[in-house]
Amino acid sequence: MIIKIKFLNKTISIINNMQINKKIILPVNGIAAAKQYVPLIKEISHSIPNQKIIITGSKFHSDILLKELSFNNIKTNISYKEKTSNNSENNITIKLSYNNHSIINNENKKELTFHIDPLKFEERRLLNEEEILKLKESYKIREKEKIIFAGAIHYHELSNVLPAVKNHLYKNKKSKAVIVPYTEGYLDDIARYIDFETNHSLKGNKNCIVIEEQGILDKLYSIADVVLMGNTFGENSYDGQNPLEPAFYGKRILTGTDYHLWNKDAYYGLLESGLLRKINIYDLEKELERKVSEKEIRKMQEKAESFIKSKQGAAKAYASIVKKIAYNRISPSEKEYLSYKRSIDELKEFLNI
C-alpha cells in the first residue's frame, strides 16, 4: 500500500510493508476457475497494488488463466507453482466453490471460499468484430451461414439434440452446425447421428463441424446465431453450462427443461429477458425454425444486458474482503458475519459496495 506524507513541504510516497510478505494462493483445477479468477485478480490488483499471487494445481488450467489475464490486458504480479505450502501465516488461499458456503472457515482462518457464480456476471473483454471474423475464417465458416451452436454437449444429450439439428440443416442449406462436445472421445457417437468434419482436418465442405478444443468455448459463442446450452437437454442433466458466456455476445440461447442450481440466477434472469428460451426437447426442431426479428432480438439483448449489469460487483466485494485479511484489518464482528453463508447482495450491502 502507498502512503503519502509531507516532509520539508514536499509530498513523499512510501510503501507500507504491512502485507509485503503475504502471498495469495489460487488453486486452479478446472476451466471454470481459470475463467472466473480473472475478474477477481483484476480487482485484487487494483485494491492491493503489487500483491504477489501464486497460482497452483493443474498446469493446463493455470496456462488458460494466464492467457485470459493477457487477453484481458490485466497486468499483475503472478506466477505458477505446481504445489505450494499454506503453512505460513502470511499466505491467504482463495478457493472458488460451485456452492455458496461461508467465506471464512473458523477452523482455517487462512482460507477464503468464494461462490463462483456471482463472478460470472463480471465485465470482461469480448472479441471484437475483426477477431470474430478471423475466428469464423479459421473454421471455414462463410459470412452468411446461420450457425447453430451446440456448446459443451454431453454424451447423454446427443440422441436428443443431434437429430433435430440434422433435420434443420437438411431443410436450411445456408445453416451450419458447430458442435463442441463437453469432453473428447464422442466422435464415434456423434457420427451415429450426423455427418461432420473436425477442427483437426477442416476442408469446409460439410455443414457440421465438431470442435475438440478446451478453454475457448466462451469465445466460440461469438460466431453463433443460436446457442444450445449443454447439459440441459437430457434426463440426467444436472449442471447446465454457463449461459452468461453467449449472453455477453447477445446470442439467442435455447435450453432444455433440466439444469442444476448452478448458474440458477443467470438462467432465471436471462429467461425473463427473453434472450434465453426454455423448451421441451420435442420442440427443438420447431424452435430452430422459428423466425425472430432483429427488433425483437435487440429488445431481448437490452433486457439481458441490463440484468447482467445489475448483478455485477462480486469481484469488488470479494477483493475488499481479501484486502481486509491481507492488512489484518478485519474486525471480529466482520469475521463472525463472514463465517455464515451470505448472498452476494448481502455482501455488497455489508461492504457498502
- Give the model confidence (pLDDT) of 253-309 as tens digits: 999 987 667 899 999 999 999 999 999 999 999 999 999 999 999 999 999 999 999
Above 50 in pLDDT, residue 12?
A: no
Q: What is the pLDDT of residues 75-88, one digit of tens each?
A: 999 999 987 765 66
Are residues 140 and 257 both part of a single domain?
yes
Q: How many domains does the chain have?
A: 2
Judgement on whether residues 154 and 285 belong to the same structural domain of the protein: yes
* 270 and 327 fall within a common domain: no
Same domain, 17 and 36: yes
Instruction: Name residue, grid cell 457440421.
Output: 208
Over residues 338-346, mean pLDDT: 95
Q: Do both 284 and 135 map to the same domain?
A: yes
DSSP annotation of 341 reads B
Domain match, 64 and 186 both: no
Q: Classify the C-alpha dihedral 324-328-329-335 as positive or negative.
A: positive
Give the domain range for residue 159.
129-310
| 256/290 same-domain check | yes
Give the pTM. 0.91
CA–CA separation, 323 vs 40, rounded Å? 12
Claim to verify: residue 155 and residue 112 sit in the same structural domain? no
> In this structure, are 90 and 212 located in the same domain?
no
Q: Are residues 182 and 298 in the same domain?
A: yes
109 with 154, same domain?
no
Cell of 7: 516532509
Burial 223-232 (b: 16+ CB within 10 A, else e): bbebbbbbbb
Reply yes or no on whether the pLDDT at 6 is more than 60.
Answer: no
Q: What amino acid occupies position 58?
A: S
Degrees, nearest 5: CA angle 123-70-142:
75
Contacts of 97 (CB under 8 A, 6+ apart): 113, 114, 115, 116
Q: Are residues 119 and 206 in the same domain?
A: no
Find the CATH number of the domain harbouring 155. 3.40.50.2000
Which strand ranges, in their side-by-side order, compose the sheet holding 104-105?
78-80, 52-57, 23-28, 91-97, 108-115, 104-105
CATH number at residue 59: 3.40.50
Burial class (CB in 10 A: 0-12, 13-18, 19+), 297: middle
Q: How many C-beta atoms surround the C-beta of residue 187 within 10 A?
A: 13
Q: Which residues does residue 26 pair with via DSSP β-bridges, in sequence order?
A: 55
**By the 8 A CB rule, do 56 and 108 touch?**
no
